[in-house]
Structure 1
Amino acid sequence: MEVQATHITGTDLDPEAAFQRRLTAVASAVEERIAALLDDAPRRGETARPARLIAAMRHAMLGGGKRLRPFLVIETAALFDVPFAHALNAACALELVHGYSLVHDDLPSMDDDDLRRGRPTVHREFDEATAILAGDALLTLAFDVAADETSHADPAVRVALVQGLARAAGVGGMVGGQIIDLAAEGRYGDVLLDEARVRRLQAMKTGALFAYAIDAGATIGRASLTERQALGTYGRALGAAFQIADDLLDLESSTEALGKRAAKDSEKGKATLVAVLGPDRARRERDTLVETAIGALSSFGAKADTLRAAARFTALRKF
């Protein structure tokens, strides 16, 4: 998909306004690209696309979401003058993984949620088996998209994108974090997570995909080692700040504002830094992480203003 540069530059605006404009433009482009990926026509190597499965996948992926993770892929790649369209496929691959994780998180055997983005969750709109299969299909589609030659002309870059996504999403990343999170609820016997273990849990369950978003953009842009190290600091701090902000919203916001059930973490006794530190200390920690993320971008100058605004958005968001 072609996206006009004027839709995402916002050079006549302050960084916060430019960020909002860019985020909206990226969300629209990601929505359109994912809709095209989830059409009914089978691709080469596919026999057929069952209508019910495609409908469930579309329900999960279309019609809402901030699209912050794909935004971070595209904006990081832009630091290295990678055109928007050239980073879009890798960005959508990451969003498909995020979408699958939400479908599975909402299942009765996981968080048992009925509402996501103000609509019924996939297992409520369809059924549990369909939701499981839709999540499976979204996950496998993500690697199809990342491996496609339209993601990058260099096969070595595509391999790096696929491997990085697998590690961020898998046993040592998001999925591993999820089972630690379930254990913290007491499902497998009493488990007491101290602050250090909660930080590790959150770095895996939430932070890994944020860190990957930044690293994927750097990979596409062929960043130097020094640049990747600075961006790695930004990505890790941003992911940690996002999770604290999310936990604070769960505690303080409403179901109507969030588009999903509020106060569910405290109800389930989930291990969060808000629970460990208390809300006031957690807010200070969130703000410190945002400043760490912003400081990590110092060597990139004004080109990184939108990424700086993304860090501030993470702390101040209300949904």
Structure 2
Amino acid sequence: MIRSMTGFGRSELKFSHGHIRAEVKTTNHKYLEVSSRLPGHLGEYEEAMRRAVAQEVRRGKVLVFVSCPDPSVLASRLALNESLAKELFQKRERLRQVLKLGGRSPEPLPAEAVLREILHYPDVLTRETSYDEKASFSNGLMKAVALALKSLTRSREQEGRALLKDFLGRLSEIQRSVRAIEKRIPAVAGEYKRSLENRMKEFIKDGKIDSERLTLEVALYVKNSDISEEITRLKSHLDGMKIALREGGELGRKIDFIAQEMTRESNTMGAKASDAAIAAEVIKIKSAIEKIREQAQNVE
């Protein structure tokens, strides 16, 4: 199965205190590059999300977006740090004694005021989430990310099917041009021979043509314009690309490499071809190969 490097996936899960929404977007990139946009309270999960992405995506730029309420606020309970509260109260009382003014202590504050003062001190009251609650949230969060990645994969495979159809269409175009060239080649030598005979007659007064010289010229022409080896190699590359497309997997670089080799052969064919019809077919081949290389940049 071919996978495109561009795609989008999303998921939404409900947990006891709200919804978790996860989105994953991928675009073309030479290597795998993962970035994320997460609320601050999800920072501890970033590395786990990167590992999850790496299991589904091999190449491309990946953006992970997750939104959800902070479970430490919604699912937690207040916990009193009694030792800290006692220490604060003792320090406060000691400070009152140290700050006696003229042998008189400041008027003591009402108990409620003292409590408010201590409770406002950082870390006297904290929020605690039970292990079970945290584990439940963590599992839900990673499940939402996994579902978004599965949705992304379906999106990339759907686009991959469209890319496969396009690749096969381009390969068919190249095959048609190769067949047209092969059909044209036998006629080219005969046409060149007749053309050469006509030109030679213009410069020979007695009307006699040196048949050996003519045969030699035609043979040299055929040798210099022979593209049979290039055609054989090009057809081999066509078969290789078809096999690769059937096998699937990570094909982007492989398709591009095969297309480069096909470009090399078509360039040589174009340089050797002196026949207008063959040259026109070579141009079609090169155009189809270029489109294949462009599309290969979208394949994982």
More helix by proportion, 1 or 2? 1
More strand by proportion, 1 or 2? 2
Higher Rg of the two aligned structures: 2
Provide TM-score, normalisation by structure 1. 0.19
Provide TM-score, normalisation by structure 2. 0.20
